[in-house]
């Protein structure tokens, strides 16, 4: 009996550091749906939905803040045929554009996200807000267009296991060129940032895996 208790104690001591271990990085894929607002659709965001697929890398600064880079391929579509807006000479505009999107964003968790000792008051689930800067390369109707973007959005993340995270995120991206749909200045008004009408969105599900052990003695984490 004493031998059994001794072995159990050793196993407990061996497991505790692993359970308390924290990691600095996350990496994983995501998949989702795209939406578009612009000259060929100025009403319902997901009127002509399409898809996006990509990967994400996240640096976890602490339980509240994280910084993320994502790279993905996406398709957006639009068709003005059933829009209520009137276009010059009654024209109909339809397009399909392929995007390569890069985003660099900061995330703020509304709750202390993670798992750990009770005194840290960590939660395995947390909503968050995200904002940053980005770049998009669009291919539409044989023409190429590059533009800077401003991604903003919200999401929720869930720590399914100690090193496995599930997430859902919705972001809108404001782009600067007004040409990712191959259309611009349809009403004879020169585009500017204030008058730019092109937005696109991602609604994605992600799975990320944590790596890069954090040195607890060197990094105090709330």
**CATH number, domain with residue 39:** 2.40.160.20
Q: How confident is the model at residue 9 (pLDDT cuts 50, 70, 90)?
A: very low
DSSP for 101-158 reads: EEEEEEEEESS-BS---GGGT-BSEEEEEEEEEEEEEEEETTEEEEEEEEEEEEEEEE
In the chain, pLDDT over 70 holds for what percent of residues? 76
Spatial contact of 176 and 146, defined as CB atoms under 8 Å apart: no
Q: Is 188 part of a structural domain of the chain?
A: yes
Tens-place pLDDT, residues 154-196:
999 999 988 999 999 999 999 988 788 877 666 555 555 556 6
In this structure, is residue 99 part of a structural domain? yes
Q: Is residue 4 part of a domain?
A: no
For the chain, strand residue ranges (E) read 23-37, 50-60, 65-79, 94-109, 125-140, 143-161, 164-175, 199-213
Q: For residue 5, is it within any domain?
A: no
Q: Which positions ≥6 away from 27 have C-beta within 8 Å?
A: 55, 56, 57, 58, 208, 209, 211
pLDDT exceeds 60 at position 201: yes
- Averaged pLDDT for residues 218-222: 51
Structural domain for 74, as ranges: 20-213
Query: Could you give the number of structural domains in the chain?
Result: 1
| Confidence check: pLDDT of 12 > 50 | no
Q: Residue 78: is its pLDDT beyond 60?
A: yes
Is the model's pLDDT at 101 over the cut of 60? yes
With bands split at pLDDT 50, 70 and 90, how would you rate the model's confidence at 28? very high
Q: What is the pLDDT of residue 215?
A: 75
Mean pLDDT of the chain: 83
The verdict on residue 13 lying in a domain is: no
Report pLDDT for 18: 42
Q: Identify whether 178 is part of a domain.
A: yes
Mean predicted confidence (pLDDT) in 130-147: 92
Does any domain span residue 6? no
């Amino acid at each position: 009996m004493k031998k059994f208790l001794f072995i159990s104690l050793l196993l407990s001591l061996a497991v505790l550091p692993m359970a308390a271990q924290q990691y600095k990085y996350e990496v994983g894929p995501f998949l989702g749906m795209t939406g578009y607002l612009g000259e060929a659709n100025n009403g319902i965001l997901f009127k002509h939905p399409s898809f996006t697929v990509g990967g994400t890398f996240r640096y976890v600064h602490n339980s509240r803040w994280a910084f993320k880079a994502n790279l993905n391929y996406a398709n957006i579509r639009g068709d003005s045929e059933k829009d209520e807006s009137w276009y010059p000479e009654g024209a109909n505009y339809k397009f399909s554009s392929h995007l390569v999107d890069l985003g660099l964003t900061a995330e703020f968790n509304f709750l202390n996200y993670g798992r750990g000792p009770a005194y840290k008051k960590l939660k395995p689930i947390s909503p968050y807000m995200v904002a940053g800067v980005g770049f998009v390369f669009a291919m539409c109707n044989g023409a190429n267009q590059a533009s800077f973007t401003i991604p903003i959005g919200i999401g929720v993340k869930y720590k399914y296991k100690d090193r496995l995270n599930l997430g859902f995120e919705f972001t809108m991206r404001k782009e600067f060129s007004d040409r990712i749909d191959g259309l611009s200045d349809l009403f004879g008004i020169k585009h500017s940032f204030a008058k730019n009408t092109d937005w696109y969105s991602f609604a994605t599900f992600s799975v990320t895996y944590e790596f890069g052990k954090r040195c607890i003695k060197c990094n105090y984490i709330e």
